[in-house]
Structure 1
Amino acid sequence: MSTLRLILADQLSATISSLTGCDKSKDIILMCEVWNEATYVKHHKKKIALLFSAMRHFAQELQENGYKVAYTKLDDAHNTGSFKSEVARLITKRPIQNIIVTHPGEYRVLEDMQNWESDFNIPVEIRSDDRFLSTPQEFEQWSKNRKQLRMEFFYREMRKKHAILMVGDEPVGGQWNYDADNRKPPKNGLQVPKPYVNEKDEITVDVIKLVSERFADHFGDLDPFYFAVTRAQALQALQLFTEQRLANYGDYQDAMVEGEPWMYHSHLSFYLNCGLLLPMECVQAAEKAYDHQQAPLNAVEGFIRQIIGWREYVRGIYWLKMPDYAQQNFFNAQRNLPEFYWTAETKMNCLRQCVLETRQNAYAHHIQRLMVLGNFALIAGLSPAQVNEWFLIVYADAYEWVELPNVSGMILFADGGYLASKPYAAGGNYINKMSDYCKNCSYKVTQKNGVDACPFNYLYWDFLARNRDKLKSNQRIAMMYRTYDRMDNDKKQAIAYDSQQLLNSLL
């Protein structure tokens, strides 16, 4: 009798807990490309190609290391289309005494797996995903008796627990957080290094052809395809980042430049979130760069905070609050997602640039997601369900555990402030300060009202006015309401009129 060990597309790590104790002589590793997972939302073509190629490469590596692998390709004649049915198909063909799987990253998958033991009448063990640096149980314990769950305090606990950038009990440099140093606007003459680009091998070429044929109606461009699809390649991408980009990551992590989608960001979330890289090795690479004086502390701390702070924190929120978290809609926002989120056909250049780059790369950096694409969704009152679906579809690093808290909590404030202390709404001035988008825009960022005014300018104030009853007690935006109250009635009416005209045009 054999143990069936299922590995999912985001669990491509040789040290994954589901492989621990594997008897290579008889245990079966099951990996499968299934239609249900590729289409429960219509994922970006590049994301599907990345995962299928990485899965096939990982399966090949497992076989070369002596594991018995049962691999189902999407176009296999007998592919049944779902994890459950593929497990069932294998059970009918081989004597299986138990099933082992690592805890999945999405609630809907876990919910299904929790029924497998009774469905199959076989013991099913769902093991903790020990690639993460904290468990959902640890996060739940940390959250108890706290009125607000602020990431900063969780992050400090993680620094202490794992002795990262610490001198005894104190943070290196005397500060926990150097975020105030990491908000420089772009300057002329920035020399942004080229991003990691991997040459396509035969496996990847075959996958791209498959995706092109089977997912032609999905969003996004397949070419150019640049992803790392093996662990060795992902490690090269990590090395390239620490050597060429990390030093400037801190200063310009919020900056946006037309024609420079990658900036100084790491682009490692693709590989972290599917398992080709592990969080701690990324942290240690950044610490090493600091120790060797290859990158300043503000850059290294900022990068590490994203991994051991924000990434672990949003995962904790997800598992703590699901399934109800997916239904949160604090502002009762109901407006449909505008078509330009797919087509990029808008006169707002900032949005146009971000959508175009998203379509081409299955990537946009965090300020593009939060303060352009997300900011508009927030102040225009777009439906959280539709915005969440869009973010899950278009980005190759998006899985529900990381996407949902970022969108519903951070971007849309749909949870009413459980995750973020205030809505991250802003007018056109912020975008103008942190980017060069406004200089090529049809609208005028300096104009506050009228047909030529930047829509972010009046929509920002309209958002505050619309939601005053729900936000008036938030001390972090009290000053903005005082500013609004000092406006004369003509100004307020102009804001309301321009906003309504713009919002009506989105229908």
Structure 2
Amino acid sequence: MPSMPPSTTTLRLILGDQLNPLHSWFAEVRADVLYVFMEVRQETDYVLHHAQKIIAIFAGMRAMAHQLGQAGHRVHYLRIDDAANLQSIPANIDALLARYGASGFEYQEPDEYRLDAQLADYAAQLTVPGAMVGSEHFLTARDEAGRIFANRAQWLMEYFYRQMRLVHGVLVDAGGKPAGGQWNFDHDNRKPRRGAPPEPFDTRAQHDHAALWASIEAAGVASFGRPDSSRIAWPLDRAEALTHLDAFVQHGLPHFGDYQDAMHTGATRLFHSMLSFALNTKMLHPREVIAEAEDAWRAGHAPLHAVEGFIRQILGWREYVRGVYWANMPGYERHNVFGHDTPLPSWFWDGKTNMRCLRHAIGQSLDDAHAHHIQRLMIIGNFSLLAGLDPHALHEWYLGVYVDAVEWVEMPNTIGMSQFADGGLLATKPYVSSAAYIDRMSDYCKGCHYDKKARLGETACPFNALYWDFFERNANRLSGNQRLGMVYRNLFKMDETARAACGEQAASVRARLEQL
């Protein structure tokens, strides 16, 4: 009996944040390639995730697999409750290599260090060829930011951002001069709250994934947050993401600048794009998002300050934090320059606190798996830093709770920007405030149990004493920071009695976090 020819099948792994149907892998249908998707406990369980995040990623994976199959590609999809699912990526690949007699294994460049290391080690020990290809998503290489700052004393996002504007020809003229005569219009995007905002737009797709959620539960996956699958309002394929992008540029971008830093209990979305899930799962390419925003300005549809501020978040901040991540891994997640070690209060898991700002921001996060960047930074992160919460525990909470949280972008934002736990590798100062800022930028203080103007007493806003005490306790480390000069001048103007009283009030607050 003649022997069978050796298999030429190559397995190509697609991860849950690699849902880009325009990747060059898919340019032609090949009979010798099998695309593999897998829903595994390895990925649901490495931190505790919000139920809606798990649903959204799995639903996006299923939509992508279906699209590839419809286009004629060979696809093998392992569902979370499949009896053949071994619940880890290496174990499943081993089984599939054997099942198909595959002659090779390929995967796209992972964006999380743990997966990058795991898959590199796995491919290295295979008896068949294993190879990694680029994800074809980012505007910079992993090490590009590191190379840009190699000979500079400090990393600064603003310098990086300007370099990216020039390299990619974004909002610059033929001579490399910035549109409008300046690089940054941030001042115009920090307008205080002015009553109730205009009615925000909302054109998000609505999905119901009750059956998917039932399979996730049946597989024993632990989660938190509101699991109502009918609330999954994120684009789950590229077509929906493009519709979402067009709607934002048409209806949201013109107002984005004015309300970029605003917060309001009656308008949780305001005019934010809500595109981060589609971007971070690669349904959209940052280049096309930037181009559509710039075109809106050139057509006179959106003001320059709004467009520049939006583009800075993608071309500047998003690429910059990725550079910080790869330059400092492994180990970045363990930075803790202030030595903070207080566990997260239980109300991080149910939103039940008398502080109206935190009740709303955390409650919204638990309900929708989303909060915009000022809620994350200046409400939840602000309190966490002032109260001395464990930055690693907070990192894991952020990574789990937000639908758009992928470690490469979430970790630097939490450890570096929000908690300043890296001592200034990412940001130039801690981003903290007293109640005055929260009141200026939101309606959170209205009707709150706590008095926004009081520093002392049981009903004094906890932010006030915590704010001054934070700078008092960390004067040796922070008083020389030029960006904090005014803070320390005001602190040192206080008499000793007032400063001591603030310290006592702050200690009392930290001792009763569960009761706040």
Both proteins in one fold, TM over 0.5: yes
- Residues 197 and 270 of structure 2 are in contact (CA less than 8 Å); yes or no, is this contact kept in structure 1? no
Task: Determine the structure 2 residue equivalent to 1:492.
Answer: 499
Deviation at 1:447, TM superposition (A): 1.2
Confirm or deny that 1:400 pairs with 2:407.
yes
Task: Determine the structure 1 residue equivalent to 2:381.
Answer: 374
Confirm or deny that 1:106 pairs with 2:151.
no
Q: 1:230 to 1:371 in 2, by over 3 A?
A: same
Aligned equivalents of 1:4 and 1:420: distance in 2?
41
- 1:465 corresponds, among 462, 466, 472, to 472
- Residues 80 and 219 of structure 2 are in contact (CA less than 8 Å); yes or no, is this contact kept in structure 1? no
- 2:99 corresponds, among 82, 93, 113, to 93
Give a deviation string over 1:264-308, Cα, whole Å, max 9, x none: 100000110011111111111111211221110011111111011
Aligned equivalents of 1:110 and 1:394: distance in 2?
23
Give a deviation string over 1:333-373, Cα, whole Å, max 9, x none: 11111111111111110000001100111000000000000
Aligned equivalents of 1:16 and 1:463: distance in 2?
48
Counterpart of 1:95 in structure 2: which amino acid? G
Counterpart of 1:430 in structure 2: which amino acid? Y
| Percent of paired sites with the same residue | 41
Confirm or deny that 1:61 pairs with 2:38.
no
Confirm or deny that 1:125 pairs with 2:125.
no
TM-score (norm 2): 0.95
Aligned equivalents of 1:437 and 1:215: distance in 2?
38
Aligned equivalents of 2:154 and 2:220: distance in 1?
43
- Residues 16 and 102 of structure 1 are in contact (CA less than 8 Å); yes or no, is this contact kept in structure 2? no
Confirm or deny that 1:252 pairs with 2:259.
yes
Deviation at 1:205, TM superposition (A): 4.0
- Residues 6 and 29 of structure 1 are in contact (CA less than 8 Å); yes or no, is this contact kept in structure 2? yes
Counterpart of 2:289 in structure 1: which amino acid? C
Give a deviation string over 1:40-72, Cα, whole Å, max 9, x none: 111111111001111001001001111111110
Give the alignment of 1:359-438 within 5 angstroms. 359-438=366-445
Give the alignment of 1:102-501 within 5 angstroms. 102-168=108-174, 169-200=176-207, 204-214=209-219, 217-223=222-228, 224-501=231-508
Task: Determine the structure 2 residue equivalent to 1:35.
Answer: 41
Deviation at 1:228, TM superposition (A): 1.5
- 1:70 corresponds, among 73, 76, 80, to 76
- Residues 102 and 127 of structure 1 are in contact (CA less than 8 Å); yes or no, is this contact kept in structure 2? yes
TM-score (norm 1): 0.97
Deviation at 1:213, TM superposition (A): 4.6
Counterpart of 2:211 in structure 1: which amino acid? D
Confirm or deny that 1:502 pairs with 2:515.
no
CA RMSD in angstroms, aligned pairs only: 1.5
Give a deviation string over 1:139-162, Cα, whole Å, max 9, x none: 221120111111111111111111
Deviation at 1:21, TM superposition (A): 7.0
Give a deviation string over 1:219-266, Cα, whole Å, max 9, x none: 111332222211111111111111111100011100000132111100
Aligned equivalents of 1:114 and 1:196: distance in 2?
41
**Matched residue SS, 2:200:** coil
**Matched residue SS, 1:30:** strand
Give a deviation string over 1:422-461, Cα, whole Å, max 9, x none: 0111111000000000012101111122112111010001
Counterpart of 2:185 in structure 1: which amino acid? Y
Counterpart of 2:396 in structure 1: which amino acid? E
Aligned equivalents of 1:8 and 1:48: distance in 2?
13
Deviation at 1:20, TM superposition (A): 6.1
- Residues 263 and 375 of structure 2 are in contact (CA less than 8 Å); yes or no, is this contact kept in structure 1? yes
Corresponding pairs, count: 504
Q: 1:215 to 1:346 in 2, by over 3 A?
A: farther
Q: 1:20 to 1:253 in 2, by over 3 A?
A: same
- Residues 48 and 223 of structure 2 are in contact (CA less than 8 Å); yes or no, is this contact kept in structure 1? yes
Q: 1:167 to 1:348 in 2, by over 3 A?
A: same
The 10-residue stretch of structure 1 (352-361 or 134-143) with the greater mean CA deviation from structure 2: 134-143
Aligned equivalents of 2:244 and 2:363: distance in 1?
24
Aligned equivalents of 2:486 and 2:191: distance in 1?
24
Aligned equivalents of 1:127 and 1:348: distance in 2?
48
- Residues 212 and 222 of structure 1 are in contact (CA less than 8 Å); yes or no, is this contact kept in structure 2? no
**Matched residue SS, 1:437:** coil
- Residues 333 and 384 of structure 1 are in contact (CA less than 8 Å); yes or no, is this contact kept in structure 2? yes
**Matched residue SS, 2:483:** helix
- Residues 279 and 307 of structure 1 are in contact (CA less than 8 Å); yes or no, is this contact kept in structure 2? yes
**Matched residue SS, 1:481:** helix
Q: 1:388 to 1:57 in 2, by over 3 A?
A: same
The 10-residue stretch of structure 1 (118-127 or 75-84) with the greater mean CA deviation from structure 2: 118-127
**Matched residue SS, 2:49:** coil
Task: Determine the structure 2 residue equivalent to 1:12.
Answer: 19
Deviation at 1:483, TM superposition (A): 1.6
Counterpart of 1:207 in structure 2: which amino acid? L
The 10-residue stretch of structure 1 (98-107 or 184-193) with the greater mean CA deviation from structure 2: 184-193
- After the TM superposition, which parts of structure 1 deviate over 3 Å for at least 4 consecutive aligned residues? 20-23, 211-217
The 10-residue stretch of structure 1 (121-130 or 423-432) with the greater mean CA deviation from structure 2: 121-130
Deviation at 1:189, TM superposition (A): 4.2
Counterpart of 1:209 in structure 2: which amino acid? A
The 10-residue stretch of structure 1 (212-221 or 34-43) with the greater mean CA deviation from structure 2: 212-221
Aligned equivalents of 1:453 and 1:152: distance in 2?
37
Deviation at 1:114, TM superposition (A): 1.2
- Residues 422 and 476 of structure 1 are in contact (CA less than 8 Å); yes or no, is this contact kept in structure 2? yes
5+ residue gaps, structure 1? none
Aligned equivalents of 2:28 and 2:468: distance in 1?
59
Deviation at 1:216, TM superposition (A): 7.2
5+ residue gaps, structure 2? 1-7
Deviation at 1:214, TM superposition (A): 4.5
